Every structure is written in structure tokens, then in C-alpha cells.
Amino acid sequence: MVLTLFKNSPDSLKLYLFLLIAILAACVKPIHYSPVLNQDVYQPIKPKIEFSHDGLTATIITNQKLAGLDSLTQLAKRPIEINNLLSIAQLGIHDSSKVMYHSLIKNNISKQKLIRSISSLETNHLLMMITYSVDTSFIMPQIRNVFENTNTTLTIEPLFDRGGDIPDFSLVSPLTSLILPCDEQSIPTRASRLPNAPRDYRSGIHRGIDFFSEWGTPVKSVADGIIIRSDLNYKEVPADFRVDILNRAGKLGRTPSDIFNNILLGKAVFIDHGFDLFSGYRTITIYAHLSHINSTIKPGYTIKAGEVFAKSGNTGTRPSTLGNRNESHLHWELILQDKNGEFYFGQNLPYEKLVSALNTIFQD
């Protein structure tokens, strides 16, 4: 009937459609639309601190009320880790080597230089970003200077060096495998106990292996040989004298052979293995810091591989001059000589190759 009423009038038809739409709209539940708000504007800012991958920078993010700024600033101004700097100064440095160089860097760079300071400040109506960083323009040259002064490219007796070329010890192996000098003592993995480790206290480089063992551990010859030095009558030097001698070494920037051989090795035995152990080289081994040497071990004595001839100790070390047995260990060296120079085994090898080379020269 409604259609009949409106069918003859266009205006009436428009009115009909309007009423129909109004009726339908009234039957549908209204949908309320809220404007989309910027989440960053209305979401509260939680104070936080972010550190760069290398640890050189720290960025504090907080609001205009500076919430949490005091506690976050304390974190930002903590001294950075020296290991991070070592990784930057020498790419690929082994973790064990970082430990080795840590004390040297610590002694050469003041703690104040490792503290981050404000380098930038950004702000707007919502937040503040405060960045703290370390000035590496001073630190990195200092670190690289330590690496450069830790020179492992010189022969061990520089005064008598004839320009010899350091062998590639990753390619040098004995004709007969060596016996480990102490039972149940394998090659250490710490770089600080191996050749090439810096020795800051004497301005020198470690030339051998430190087998840390209890006082009095039996010591064996690693191969057949002849005794060429045996300190049967060794007497420990006074503590003050040792300190004075080391100060002289410090002025030279290296450890002179007389100080090293006659003072720092303590009670020692040198064994000559001749030219048959390493092809093309005369070979000697050094056993230092001994607490006891068998009375038969005298220059000219022929010793056999594996023969026990001494006991470990700490002679020549600072604790020994103070009258105690701390830091007891066997310092062992393998020295190769040719007509142009004298070299310690493993000299100038990076850590990974050094460990591999040392393990290949000993019997399993």
C-alpha cells in the first residue's frame, strides 16, 4: 500500500527511500569511532640506558622530569672494560691474550681515562637523550704503544744478534718427540704462561712455559743431552738487590741477558741437546726456579730423556727473596740456535698457532 501511495510522485518516492534508510539505521547498534592517537605521545616513557656494542658509548633515555637520571648516570660513568679496548686495538686477539695484556694496559692508562663523559644531549617536548662516551684519541695510541713495545721479533740475545731470521715455529718440529718435564702437567692454555707473554715487572718477554706445580715436584729432562749449567751452590739474592736490578732493567726498556740468566732464573739447569734434536739448529733447554738439584748433575754429565734430576720451586722470584714458597712453578725454555741468531721456541707465533706448535713437539 505504501508503494501504491508513492508510485505516481518522484518526490514522494525520494521521501519513501529516506524514511526507509532512517528506519534501518535506527535498528543498527551505533559504532563509536575514537581518533587514532600517537602511541609515543600518550605512552609513558620508561627511563633506560643503552650501551654500544663496543661499550665505548652509553645513552640514557628519560623524560623531561629526568626520572631515574641519577642511577642511570652512575651506570653510564662506570669505567669501560679494558678487554673491549684490546679487541678494538688488535682485531682477533684471543681471550687468553686479553688476560695477559690486561695488567699492562691497566698500569699504563689511568682509570679516569676509562670513564665515559657527556658527548651529546638531545631533547624535545617528550624526552631527553644523553650520550656518554670515551675519548679514544688518547687511549688507543697508549694501547698500541704497549703492543709495539711487546716486541717478540728480536732474538733473545740482541747484543750478539747477527741478523738472524726467526724460524716459523709452526713448521719446525723435533726429530724425536720431547717428554713433558713434569708428570701430569700438560701444556698450559693461558697465554700468560706461554712464550711471547709480556713481563712488565722486568720490561721483557716470557721465553718459555710456566708449569705451575707444587713445591718439590720432580723435574725430568725432555730429551737426551749434556749438562752445561747446574746451580748446585745457588744462594738466593736479597729482596732489595732484586728490586734494584729490575729498576735498572726498566731504564733500559728490556731485560738484559745477565740479569735474566743470573738473577731471575734462580737455581737453574741448562741442558745441551746438540744438533740432532732439531735439524739445522743447536738446541738447549732451561729449567728454572728449582728448589733442588741432584748432586750428580754437574757440567759434562750425560743425561737421558725422562731422567729425574731436580725438583720445582720458586728461586729467583720475589716470594723466594722474601723467604716463602709462594708462586712455585717450573719455568722451562726450549732455545734453538743457528749461526745468525738464538730463538726461543714459539717466538713470534700468534696464540692459536703457538698452542698447536707446542703440543706437537711433546709425546702424547
Three-state secondary structure of 210-248: EECCCCCCEEECCCCEEEEEECCCCCCCCHHHHHHHHHH
Q: At what angle do helices 136-149 and 95-108 cross, to 10 degrees?
A: 110
**pLDDT value of residue 4:** 47
Range of weakest confidence among 22-36, 116-130, 212-226, 344-358: 22-36
pLDDT band at residue 6 under the 50/70/90 scheme = very low
Indicate whether 213 pLDDT > 90: no
Q: Is residue 17 scored above 80 in pLDDT? A: no
- Render pLDDT for 150-190 as a digit per residue (tens, 0 to 9): 767 777 776 667 778 899 999 999 999 999 999 988 999 99
Q: Could you state, in order of their start, the residue ranges of all structural domains in the chain?
A: 1-33, 39-147, 172-360
pLDDT at position 37 is 40
Fold of 172-360: Glucose Permease (Domain IIA) (2.70.70)
- Least-confidence region, from 55-64, 107-116, 143-152: 143-152
CA distance 255 to 264: 10
| The pLDDT value given to residue 221 | 98
Considering the chain, what percentage of its residues have pLDDT values greater than 70? 85
User: In this predicted structure, what is the pLDDT of residue 41?
Assistant: 47
Residue 307 scores a pLDDT above 90: yes
Q: What is the mean pLDDT of residues 51-59?
A: 90
Characterize 13-46 residue by residue with b for buried, 16 or more Cβ atoms within 10 angstroms of its Cβ, and e for exposed. eeebeeeeeeeeeeeeeeeeeeeeeeeeeeeeee
Asked if residue 33 has pLDDT above 60, the reply is no
Residue 36 has pLDDT above 90, yes or no: no
